[in-house]
């Protein structure tokens, strides 16, 4: 029965980890990160109509029978 040649496994696994690291770095580098998160929250504040008025939610189980 022939022996399993494992001499190239280390090189294969090492090159796989290196390739995955490079791929993930390239994907992460496409995102824009703010230096100060508080300033980003102020810029992205959306005004919605239901924030300015009072609303009440009625649950069906709380209604009288």
Q: pLDDT per residue over 15-54, tens digit each?
A: 999 999 999 999 998 888 767 766 655 655 566 666 555 5
Reduce the DSSP state of residue 59 to 3 states and report it.
coil
Q: Is the pLDDT of residue 58 over 60?
A: no
Alpha-carbon span 4 to 13, nearest angstrom = 16
Alpha-carbon span 16 to 22, nearest angstrom = 10
Work out the average pLDDT over 2-15: 91
What is the value of pTM for the model shown? 0.46
Residue found under tokens 């009625």: 58
Alpha-carbon span 16 to 32, nearest angstrom = 27
């Amino acid at each position: 029965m022939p022996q399993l040649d494992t001499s190239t496994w280390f090189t294969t696994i090492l090159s796989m980890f290196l390739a995955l690291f490079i791929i993930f770095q390239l994907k992460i580098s496409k995102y824009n990160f703010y230096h100060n998160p508080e300033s980003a929250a102020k810029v992205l504040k959306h005004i919605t109509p239901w924030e300015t008025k009072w609303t009440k939610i009625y649950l069906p189980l709380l209604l009288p029978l």
